Copies of this chain bind each other. A is one copy, B any other.
Amino acid sequence: MGINNTAHTEQNIRLIKDYLNKQSLVQGLVIRQDNHDKQDLIESLAKRQHQAEIHQLVNRLHPSDIANLLEQLPPQQRDIVWQHIDKNHIGSVLLELSDNLRQALLVTLESDELIKIVSHLDSDEIADLILDLPEHVTEDLLSSLPEHQRLDVESTLRFPEDTVGAWMEYDIPVVRENISLDVVLCYLRKKGSIPDSSDRLIVVDDSGQFKGILLVGTLLVMNGESLVTDVMQTDVSVFHTNDSAEDAAHDFERYELIIAPVINSHGKLVGVLRVSSLMDLMNASSQRKFLAQAGVSKDENLFDPFLNSARNRWPWIALNLFIVLIATRVIDHFETTITGMVALAALLPITANIGGNSGNQVVALVIRGLALKQLERKHLPRLFLKEFLVASTNGLMWGSITGILILIFYGNTSLSIVILLSMLFTMILSAMVGVSVPLLLKKMNQDPVLGSSVIITGFTDTMGFLIFLGLATLVLN
């Protein structure tokens, strides 16, 4: 399918929105004046006219642009656009939608509509959709597929989501090793084209074992009587179905790959990985990490129903509340110290906040180091030493600055020294914990992004209060 210019696409989307707005205007008029028969007729004509325009404009868009448009529209206008999407585009549009919206729109479809929609999709795409369908629909759908496609879909569903197997495609541009280039050319001419966006064909032997790669360029420049096996490349990146998909994405980025063969544990070619799927994967994973860092654990659409959104944010609010309650128990313990000098209450947040902030900086760096595999066990002593030095430097410096300010505010030297020391100790402690927590979570096979930040903030809050009030009790009483 051809792709329009970005400017062109944007113009079409703007037009659709104009029509949608006009339409709601017309609808508004119709409702208000439904006893005026003639007026009614004109408006319903105008409405039908708009509908036709919308239908044409929507289906001129690329499926991912339609998906993006649906995400942007408020529910009522979204439903209008949804009804206008051609049946042979709906599948691709569904694949591009966010989880929540996809689920919401899938339930509006009948079983037989779905079967028709799915017939335009590849096996790996059907597998993506199937996860969001109710079980009885899934069964109808699977039994409606041709045998080989059903097997492909079922095999994709068996692979865990984070493996190469779940991200590979089955539509493989494949040739046998023992034929001549002329035969390959003949075959391609009969097919009428080279499988999409690829400069290479994958070579297998008669039993389907992966053998190498045949560049299309070779077909053009080499003698047609050469055998594929003599001119193919064998020194290429190959992935296994159970390799980590995220690692594969990094390899694609690192080695600038476009398409790569996927083999099973017996060396048999079972599919291909494409750079476009892995870009989706990388983008989804970086978005998930970004949201997770802030305590949004599940993919959340901007306009999800508010109760879903509220519930989605509970886990971290709950964890945060639990931790801050522990911190309050620490403060409560020092009631007599605070009664002796109420200024301490005002200064409480300083140590905890600065400690949390610098701890989170360390956490982010360590998580990134882990993701890039730049962190090995034997470098840990050096990393701890470095972060100790950074925290000591910054603790001394910002602790002194704060100490001087406190001296100006309160004219109390002991209080200044308490602030300086507690900032120094808290920052060192939170740096050490900031290195350890992601490493420990990783070791326990947890995602370090989910949780590290809340744990570190909770820990530094509690320890910050403890160190500050403890030192104050020692020095000031």
* Stretch with Cβ within 8 A of B (4 or more), from A27-35, A121-129, A140-148, A247-255: A247-255
Nearest-CB residue, chain B, relative to A373? B68
* Stretch with Cβ within 8 A of B (4 or more), from A40-48, A49-57, A398-406: A398-406
Interface secondary structure of A, over-half rule: helix
A-B contact list, 22 entries, CB within 8 Å: A4-B235, A64-B254, A74-B382, A96-B254, A185-B220, A189-B221, A199-B216, A282-B283, A286-B286, A290-B293, A290-B368, A294-B363, A295-B357, A296-B365, A302-B365, A303-B379, A309-B386, A313-B390, A317-B394, A338-B338, A348-B348, A349-B349
The smallest C-beta distance from A351 to any residue of chain B, in angstroms, reads 9
A342 within 8 Å of B (CB atoms): yes
Specify which chain B residues have a CB less than 8 angstroms from the CB of A304 in the assembled complex. Answer: 386
Most buried by B among A335, A349, A363: A349
A82 within 8 Å of B (CB atoms): no
A149 within 8 Å of B (CB atoms): no
Specify which chain B residues have a CB less than 8 angstroms from the CB of A218 in the assembled complex. Answer: 193
Which among B3, B221, B237 is the interface contact of A193 at CB below 8 angstroms? B221
With A220-B188, A357-B316 as known contacts, state yes or no: A287 contacts B368, CB within 8 Å: yes
Specify how many copies of this chain sit in the oligomer.
Answer: 2
A354 touches B320 (CB 8 A): yes
Specify which chain B residues have a CB less than 8 angstroms from the CB of A389 in the assembled complex. Answer: 306, 310
* Stretch with Cβ within 8 A of B (4 or more), from A83-91, A107-115, A130-138, A322-330: A322-330
Q: Which residues 163-204 of A have a CB within 8 angstroms of B?
A: 185, 188-189, 192-194, 197-199
The smallest C-beta distance from A439 to any residue of chain B, in angstroms, reads 12
A279 within 8 Å of B (CB atoms): yes
Nearest-CB residue, chain B, relative to A427? B317
How far is A316 from B353 in the complex, measured between Cα atoms in Å?
12
Most buried by B among A5, A189, A294, A324: A294
A369 within 8 Å of B (CB atoms): yes
Specify which chain B residues have a CB less than 8 angstroms from the CB of A361 in the assembled complex. Answer: 294-296, 313, 316
Specify which chain B residues have a CB less than 8 angstroms from the CB of A247 in the assembled complex. Answer: 6
